[in-house]
Amino acid sequence: MTSMRAKPNQVSRRSLLRRSFMRPPTEDRNSLIGHSRVIPYLLSGPAIFMVSLLLAFPVLYAIWQSTYRAEVIGGETEFVGLQNYIDLFGDPAFLSAMNRTAIFVFGCLILGISLALVFAFALNKAGRRLRFLRGITIVPYLVSGVAAAVMFRLMFNAEFGQVNRTLEFFGIDGPEWFSTPSLAMVATIIAQVWTDLPLAVLLILGGLQTIEPSLLDAASVDGATGWHRAWYVSIPLITPQLAIATVWFSYGTLTSLGVVLALTGGGPMDATRTVPIHLYETAFVELRRNEALAIVVVILALNALLTLIYTTVSRRYDLRS
Amino acid sequence: MSIVLVLALVAFACSDDSGTTTTAGEAPATSDGASGTTGAPDTTGDPTTGEPVEITVWFAREYLPPDLFASLEAEHNIRVTYDVRPGDNMLPTMLDMRDVGEPLPDLIEDDSLTTPAYIAAELYQPMTEYVDRFAEEDPELFETVLPAVWENGTFDGEIWHASWQSSYDLIYYNVAMLEEAGVEVPFESWWGVLAAAQAVKANNPDMPSVFGTGSTSEDPLFYWLTNFGAPFDGAVPDLTSPGGLDFIEWAQTMFEEGLINPAYVVGEQDESQGAFINGGGAILQDGINAGLDYMAAPGFEYGDDGWLSTPMPNEESGEQMSVPRGWSIVSESEHPYEASLVLRYLMDPVNGVPRYLSGSSTPRSAAILADSEVADAQPYFTDEIREAFFGVSAQIPPAVNTREVGAILIDLRDDLMVVGTDESPEEVAARYQPLLDALND
Distance CA B253, CA B190 (A): 11
**Would you say residue B393 lies in a domain?**
no
**Would you say residue A280 lies in a domain?**
yes
- Provide the pLDDT confidence category of residue B222 given band limits of 50, 70 and 90: very high
pLDDT at B249 over 90: yes
Distances (CA, A) of A264 to A142, B198, B252, B255, B437: 22, 29, 22, 20, 27
Q: Which residue of B has its CA nearest to A290?
A: B92
Q: Do A151 and A188 belong to one domain?
A: yes
Distances (CA, A) of A130 to A126, A137, A138, B438: 6, 12, 15, 61
Position A271, amino acid: A
pLDDT at B292 over 50: yes
pLDDT at A261 over 60: yes
Tell which of B349, B365, B388 closes a domain.
B388
Q: Do A49 and A149 belong to one domain?
A: no
Distance CA B173, CA A29 (A): 89
Q: In sequence order, what DSSP letters do the residues of A186-224 get, joined into one string?
A: HHHHHHHHHHHHHHHHHHHHHHHHTS-HHHHHHHHHTT-
User: pLDDT for A136-166, tens place per residue?
Assistant: 888 888 888 889 998 998 899 887 889 999 9
Q: Which residue of A has its CA nearest to B417?
A: A179
Q: Do B154 and B94 belong to one domain?
A: yes
* Position with higher pLDDT, B6 vs B79: B79
- Provide the pLDDT confidence category of residue B49 given band limits of 50, 70 and 90: low
Position B323, amino acid: V
Question: Beta-carbon neighbour count of residue B44 at 10 Å?
Answer: 20
B404 touches chain A (CB under 8 A): yes
**Would you say residue B295 lies in a domain?**
yes
With CB atoms and an 8 Å threshold, state whether B123 touches A176: no
pLDDT at B44 over 50: yes
With CB atoms and an 8 Å threshold, state whether B263 touches A178: yes
Q: Which of B212, B222, B225 is nearest to B286 (CA)?
A: B212
Q: Do B243 and B191 belong to one domain?
A: yes
Q: Do B380 and B296 belong to one domain?
A: no
Q: Do A268 and A119 belong to one domain?
A: yes
Q: Do A186 and A312 belong to one domain?
A: yes
With CB atoms and an 8 Å threshold, state whether B121 touches A286: no
Decide: B234 and B401 in contact? Cβ < 8 Å: yes
pLDDT at B60 over 50: yes
User: pLDDT for B141-155, tens place per residue?
Assistant: 999 999 999 999 999
pLDDT at B368 over 80: yes
Q: Do A99 and A232 belong to one domain?
A: yes
CA distance to partner chain B, nearest, from residue A43 (Å): 13
Strand partners for B325: B111, B165
pLDDT value of residue B305: 85
Q: Do B402 and B260 belong to one domain?
A: yes
Q: Do B259 and B176 belong to one domain?
A: yes
Position A310, amino acid: Y
Q: Give how many domains chain A has, as a whole number.
A: 2
Q: Find the mean pLDDT for residues A207-216.
A: 88
With CB atoms and an 8 Å threshold, state whether A178 touches B266: yes
CA distance to partner chain A, nearest, from residue B347 (Å): 29
**Would you say residue A33 lies in a domain?**
yes
With CB atoms and an 8 Å threshold, state whether B120 touches A72: yes
Q: Do A191 and A282 belong to one domain?
A: yes
CATH code for position A254: 1.10.3720.10
- Provide the pLDDT confidence category of residue B26 given band limits of 50, 70 and 90: very low
**Would you say residue A5 lies in a domain?**
no
**Would you say residue B161 lies in a domain?**
yes
pLDDT value of residue B129: 96
- Provide the pLDDT confidence category of residue A17 given band limits of 50, 70 and 90: very low
If you count DSSP H runs as helices and E runs as strands, how many of each does chain B have, helices first? 21, 16
**Would you say residue A8 lies in a domain?**
no
With CB atoms and an 8 Å threshold, state whether A73 touches B120: yes
CATH code for position B317: 3.40.190.10
- Provide the pLDDT confidence category of residue B4 given band limits of 50, 70 and 90: low
Instruction: Tell me the pairing of strands A68-70 and B307-311.
Output: unpaired
Q: Which of B16, B36, B107, B3 is nearest to B346 (CA)?
A: B36
Residue A80 half-sphere exposure toward CB, CA atoms < 13 A: 19
B104 touches chain A (CB under 8 A): no
**Would you say residue A47 lies in a domain?**
yes
With CB atoms and an 8 Å threshold, state whether A286 touches B411: no
Q: Residue A180: its chain B contacts at CB < 8 A? A: 419
CA distance to partner chain B, nearest, from residue A93 (Å): 11
Decide: B89 and A284 in contact? Cβ < 8 Å: yes
pLDDT at B31 over 70: no
B354-359: Cβ within 8 A, 24+ apart: B354/B65, B354/B66, B355/B63, B355/B64, B355/B65, B356/B63, B356/B165, B357/B292, B358/B63, B359/B63, B359/B289, B359/B292
Tell which of A83, A110, A129 closes a domain.
A83
Contacts of A138 (CB under 8 A, 6+ apart): A198, A202
**Would you say residue B136 lies in a domain?**
yes
Q: What mean pLDDT is reported for chain A?
A: 84
Distance CA B287, CA B272 (A): 13
**Would you say residue A12 lies in a domain?**
no
pLDDT at B22 over 80: no
- Provide the pLDDT confidence category of residue B27 given band limits of 50, 70 and 90: very low
Q: Do B299 and B349 belong to one domain?
A: no
**Would you say residue B155 lies in a domain?**
yes
Range of the domain at A54: 26-83
Distance CA B284, CA B310 (A): 11
pLDDT at A320 over 70: no
**Would you say residue A180 lies in a domain?**
yes
Q: Do A39 and A186 belong to one domain?
A: no
A276-280: Cβ within 8 A, 24+ apart: A276/A101, A277/A97, A278/A93, A278/A94, A278/A97
Q: Residue A52: its chain B contacts at CB < 8 A? A: none
Q: In sequence order, what DSSP letters do the residues of B383-420 get, joined into one string?
A: HHHHHHHHT--EESPP-TTHHHHHHHHHHHHIIIIII-
Range of the domain at B265: 169-321+398-440
The b-or-e profile of A8-27 (16+ CB within 10 A means b, else e) is: eeeeeeeeeeeeeeeeeeee
Tell which of B388, B415, B431 closes a domain.
B388
Q: Do B332 and B413 belong to one domain?
A: no
Q: Do A239 and A93 belong to one domain?
A: yes
Q: Do A254 and A265 belong to one domain?
A: yes
Q: Give how many domains chain B has, as a whole number.
A: 2
pLDDT at B37 over 60: no
CA distance to partner chain A, nearest, from residue B400 (Å): 8
Q: Do B270 and B333 belong to one domain?
A: no
Decide: B252 and B424 in contact? Cβ < 8 Å: no
- Provide the pLDDT confidence category of residue B203 given band limits of 50, 70 and 90: confident
Farthest-apart Cα atoms in chain A, separation: 84
Position B144, amino acid: T
Q: Do B16 and B146 belong to one domain?
A: yes
Minimum mean pLDDT range among A68-72, A152-156, B325-329, B354-358: A68-72
Q: Do A116 and A247 belong to one domain?
A: yes
- Continuous H helices in B43-182: 70-76, 90-99, 115-120, 128-137, 139-144, 148-151, 175-180
With CB atoms and an 8 Å threshold, state whether A74 touches B123: yes
Q: Do A129 and A173 belong to one domain?
A: yes
Q: Do A111 and A229 belong to one domain?
A: yes
User: pLDDT for A86-104, tens place per residue?
Assistant: 999 999 999 999 999 999 9
Decide: A299 and A255 in contact? Cβ < 8 Å: yes
pLDDT value of residue A278: 93
User: pLDDT for B127-145, tens place per residue?
Assistant: 999 999 999 999 999 999 9
- Provide the pLDDT confidence category of residue B64 given band limits of 50, 70 and 90: very high
